[in-house]
Amino acid sequence: MSDKKYTDDEILAIKDKILQGLEEVIDPELGIDIVNLGLIYEIRFEQNGATEIDMTLTTMGCPLADLITDQIHDAMKSIPEVTKVDVKLVWYPAWTVDRLSRYARIALGIR
C-alpha cells in the first residue's frame, strides 16, 4: 500500500463501490442481494484499505452465515482499494422486514 491519503470524497466513492460489490452477494435462500435485504448496517473504510462491514442476518443462527461471509470476501477482491475485510455479525438492532428495499419487497411479495 502506498502512502496515498484518500480524501473524504474518495472514501465516500470507495464506500459506494463496496456497497455495489455487496449487491453481488445473494442470499441463497431468498435469491435477493444482502444490500436490498437490509442486512448491511455499516461500512467502515480506513486509509490503509482495511474495511469493516457490520451486517446482520434475517435470523440468529442462520446456517448460511459462513457462506455469505465467504461471498463478501470474494466480492471485495474486485475492489482494489480494499486490502483487508472484516465482517462483523451484529444482532442489534434486530433485523425486520422494515429494512427491505422496495425492490426486495416486490420480489418477495411483501407490501
Average pLDDT, the chain: 93
Domain coordinates in residue numbering, the chain: 8-106
> pLDDT tens digits, residue range 67-79?
999 999 999 999 9
CB atoms within 10 A of CB 93: 10
> What pLDDT sits at residue 34?
97
Which CATH superfamily includes the segment(s) 8-106? Fe-S cluster assembly (FSCA) (3.30.300.130)
How sure is the predictor about 35, in pLDDT bands with cuts at 50, 70 and 90? very high
**Distance separating alpha carbons of residues 51 and 44, to the nearest angstrom:** 6
The answer to whether residues 34 and 24 touch, using CB atoms and an 8 Å cutoff, is no
pTM: 0.90
Q: How many CA atoms lie within 13 A of 66 on its CB side?
A: 1
* pLDDT > 90 fraction of the chain, expressed in percent and rounded: 86
> What pLDDT sits at residue 1?
46
